[in-house]
C-alpha cells in the first residue's frame, strides 16, 4: 500500500510540474516570440504590487515534493528487502543512490529559491541550471537502470527501464537547452517528458501494486518469513512476455496521451493569450524599382528636350 501511495504522490507532483512548465512555455513564446528564452523556473504572475510570495509557489511545491522523495528513499533504505538480487544490502545502497539524486535536485532548487528571495545571493545563469538539471536527470537514469538490474520482478525491472529512458531523454533536452536556450521545441519536449514520467509512475504503481491491474498470469511477491511484500512477478515465460507487451503498449498509449495534452494545452493557452489564426497572405509586388526607373526615364526625356 505504501508503494502505491508513493507512486500516486510522484505522479501528481510530476504531472503538476510538467503541465505548469508547458503552459508557461507556450504562453511566453506566444506573447513574445522574439525575446523568448527557456527558463528552468517560471514564477507566477504578480498578484499585487507589494505581495510577491505567491510568485515562488511552484518552486516551493517542487522543494516540498523533492523533500518527500528524498526522505522516502532514505527511510526505505533502512528496511530489509530480501526480494531483490543481493538481498537487503543491495536494496539499501540502491535506495541511498536514489536519495542522493533527489538531494542534488533539492539543493539546486533551494539555492534557486534563496537566490530569488535574498539579494545577497547571485542567481545562477539559466544555462548552468539546465546543465545541472541535465546531470541530475542522467544520474536518475543511471539509478533507475541499476534498480532495474537488481529486481527479481521482471515487470518492475521493465517499468524501471522505461522510466530510465524518459530520464535519459530529459537529460538530453536539458543539455540542449543549456547550449541553445531559444530552442522552443526542446523546452516544450522537456515539459512533455516530465508529464510522461508522471503518467508512467502512475501506470507503474497500478501494474505492480493494484490487484485489478496486475497482468493475467502474474502475482505479488511475498517473503513469508520476513513479512515483506514485493511487486509483481510472472512465473510462466508466456505470461511474462504477455505482461511486458502490455506494459509496452501502455507506455505508447501514455505517449499518445501526452501528445494530445500538448495540443490541447497549446490551443487553450493561445486562446487565453488572445492569439488568433490569421489567413495566409502573399507578398505584395515591389514596384519601387519600376517607379524609380519611370521617374529616371522622364527626367532623361526632359533633359534631352
Report pLDDT for 280.
Answer: 40
Least confident of 78-82, 103-107, 116-120, 192-196: 78-82
Rounded-to-integer distance, Cα 19 and Cα 21, Å: 5
Report pLDDT for 65.
Answer: 94
What's the sign of the alpha-carbon dihedral 56, 57, 61, 62? negative
pLDDT of 32 strictly over 90:
no
Report pLDDT for 284.
Answer: 40
pLDDT of 37 strictly over 70:
yes
Residues 6 or more apart whose CB falls under 8 angstroms from that of 103 comprise 70
Read off the pLDDT of residues 125-134 as tens digits, 9 standing for 90 and up.
Answer: 889 999 999 9
HEC string of 95-116 equals HHHHHHHHHHHHHHHHHHHHHH
User: pTM for the whole thing?
Assistant: 0.83
Mean pLDDT of the chain, nearest integer = 82
| Angle, CA 164 vertex, CA 204 and CA 87 arms, to 5° | 75
pLDDT of 282 strictly over 70:
no
Average pLDDT over residues 276-292: 47
- What is the residue extent of each domain of the chain? 2-276
Read off the pLDDT of residues 154-170 as tens digits, 9 standing for 90 and up.
Answer: 788 889 999 999 999 99
Report pLDDT for 305.
Answer: 45
Read off the pLDDT of residues 193-218 as tens digits, 9 standing for 90 and up.
Answer: 999 999 999 999 888 888 788 877 78
Average pLDDT over residues 35-43: 88
For residue 48, what is its C-alpha cell? 499585487
Read off the pLDDT of residues 234-271 as tens digits, 9 standing for 90 and up.
Answer: 777 887 888 889 999 999 999 999 999 999 999 999 98
Read off the pLDDT of residues 135-157 as tens digits, 9 standing for 90 and up.
Answer: 999 999 999 998 888 877 778 88
Closest CA to 190 of 63, 14, 54, 18: 18
Band of pLDDT at residue 83, cut at 50, 70 and 90: low
Band of pLDDT at residue 175, cut at 50, 70 and 90: very high
Q: How many helices (H) and strands (E) does the chain have?
A: 8, 2
pLDDT of 43 strictly over 70:
yes
Only one residue has cell 497549446, namely 266
Q: Are 150 and 86 in contact (CB under 8 A)?
A: yes
Closest CA to 9 of 70, 90, 65: 65
Counting residues of the chain whose pLDDT is more than 70, the rounded percentage is: 79
Amino acid at each position: 500500500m505504501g508503494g502505491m501511495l508513493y507512486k500516486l504522490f510522484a505522479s501528481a507532483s510530476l504531472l503538476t510540474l510538467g503541465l505548469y512548465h508547458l503552459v508557461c512555455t507556450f504562453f511566453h513564446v506566444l506573447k513574445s516570440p522574439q525575446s523568448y528564452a527557456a527558463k528552468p523556473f517560471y514564477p507566477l504572475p504578480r498578484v499585487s504590487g507589494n505581495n510577491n510570495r505567491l510568485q515562488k509557489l511552484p518552486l516551493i511545491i517542487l522543494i516540498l515534493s523533492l523533500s518527500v522523495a528524498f526522505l522516502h528513499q532514505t527511510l526505505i533504505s533502512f528496511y530489509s528487502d530480501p526480494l531483490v538480487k543481493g538481498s537487503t544490502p543491495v536494496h539499501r545502497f540502491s535506495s541511498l543512490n536514489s536519495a542522493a539524486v533527489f538531494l542534488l535536485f533539492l539543493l539546486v532548487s533551494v539555492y534557486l529559491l534563496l537566490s530569488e528571495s535574498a539579494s545577497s545571493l547571485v542567481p545562477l545563469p539559466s544555462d548552468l541550471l539546465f546543465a545541472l538539471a541535465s546531470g541530475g536527470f542522467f544520474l536518475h537514469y543511471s539509478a533507475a537502470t541499476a534498480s532495474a538490474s537488481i529486481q527479481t520482478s521482471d515487470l518492475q525491472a521493465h517499468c524501471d527501464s522505461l522510466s530510465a529512458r524518459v530520464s535519459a531523454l530529459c537529460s538530453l533536452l536539458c543539455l540542449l537547452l543549456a547550449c541553445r536556450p531559444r530552442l522552443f521545441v526542446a523546452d516544450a519536449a522537456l515539459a512533455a517528458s516530465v508529464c510522461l514520467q508522471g503518467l508512467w509512475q502512475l501506470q507503474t504503481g497500478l501494474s505492480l501494486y493494484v490487484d485489478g491491474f496486475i497482468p493475467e498470469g502474474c502475482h505479488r511477491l511475498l517473503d513469508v518469513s520476513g513479512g515483506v511484500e514485493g511487486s509483481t512477478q510472472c512465473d510462466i515465460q508466456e505470461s511474462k512476455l504477455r505482461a511486458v507487451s502490455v506494459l509496452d503498449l501502455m507506455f505508447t498509449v501514455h505517449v499518445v496521451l501526452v501528445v494530445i495534452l500538448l495540443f490541447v494545452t497549446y490551443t487553450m493557452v493561445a486562446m487565453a493569450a488572445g492569439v488568433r489564426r490569421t489567413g495566409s497572405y502573399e507578398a505584395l509586388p515591389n514596384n519601387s524599382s519600376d517607379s524609380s526607373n519611370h521617374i529616371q526615364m522622364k527626367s532623361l526625356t526632359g533633359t534631352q528636350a
